[in-house]
Amino acid sequence: MIDQRPNTPQLGNEHLEQYFLDDGLRVEGDLEAVNAVIAEAIRSWPTTSRLKRLAMAPLQYRSTDLQDFEFLLCYKAHACLGIAVWQPDTPLALQQLQSGEELGECKKVASAVLLHGLFVSVQAQGCGIGGLLLDELTRRARQKEFAGIFVRAERFSTSYFEQKGFRQLNDGEELGLVPANYPHRFLMDVSQCAEGDGSATGITSELKVSG
């Protein structure tokens, strides 16, 4: 479904510099805009109406969630087009993380950060907004010295995270990344040892970051 609100730009082949990222939710209307993007994205899922209905309420955010999660929003003009939600204040314990078979010096006990949600407005999908949000979170995760980004993916989004450099975890692997029995757990190595290996790119210099 295309959002036809007057302030919402119709997207085409725009350059990345037309988007900007902003931290947090500053006014009450920001949370409403976030949930509108999430609801629109869920309605576009390639799954049953029942699953969409069941997912709608649990995946939307309330004011009480602001104390647990940090929000990164992608805008064009005044329209919110993408959201990434993560939990940097609650590190998840990793077992030994190793970047490549020969890099024994990079093997260490480390922590990962949970990517709780990644949503892009339907009309903006395919424009690279999800990648921009992931790149910025990767940069911030490295600044905070996390070794990995952990996500619990939906079945139909697994190929997207694989394309972005995430690795699917096997049963019994990384038991600290809960729930350990979730079928689609993915981890991306963002440790300093992984820089330059192509698994996660730095944020593009064309992107404006606010906040």
Tens digits of residue pLDDT in 156-190: 999 999 999 999 999 888 988 988 889 999 999 99
In the predicted model, is pLDDT for residue 103 greater than 50? Answer: no
CB 71 within 8 A of CB 24: yes
Where b means 16+ CB within 10 Å and e means fewer, 67-82 reads eebbbbbbbbeebbbb
Q: What pLDDT band is residue 16 in, cutting at 50, 70 and 90?
A: low
Q: What H or E segment, with its residue span, contains residue 39?
A: helix 28-43
Of the chain, the percentage scoring pLDDT greater than 90 comes to: 58
pLDDT confidence band for 29 (50 / 70 / 90): confident
Average pLDDT, the chain: 80
Average pLDDT over residues 95-114: 62
- Bridge-based pairing of strands 108-120 and 148-152 is parallel
Rg (CA), the chain: 17
CA distances from 72 to 20, 23, 120, 210 (A): 10, 5, 12, 10
For residue 8, pLDDT over 60 is answered with: no
Check whether 72 has a pLDDT greater than 90. Answer: yes
Q: What share of the chain is helix, strand, coil (3-state, %, to 5)?
A: 30, 25, 45
Element (H, E) at 83: strand 79-86
Helices (H) then strands (E): counts for the chain? 4, 9
Res 104: pLDDT = 47
pLDDT at 202 over 90: no
pTM above the 0.85 mark? no
DSSP single-letter state for residue 104: G
102 Cβ partners below 8 Å, 6+ apart?
A: none
Residue 24: predicted pLDDT: 76
Spatial distance between the Cα atoms of 100 and 157, rounded to a whole number of angstroms: 25
Give the pLDDT confidence score for residue 201 in this predicted structure.
36
Which has more pLDDT, 110 or 208? 110
Higher-confidence residue of 195 and 138: namely 138
Q: Is the pLDDT of residue 1 over 80?
A: no
Backbone angles phi, psi at 113, to 5 degrees: -115, 140
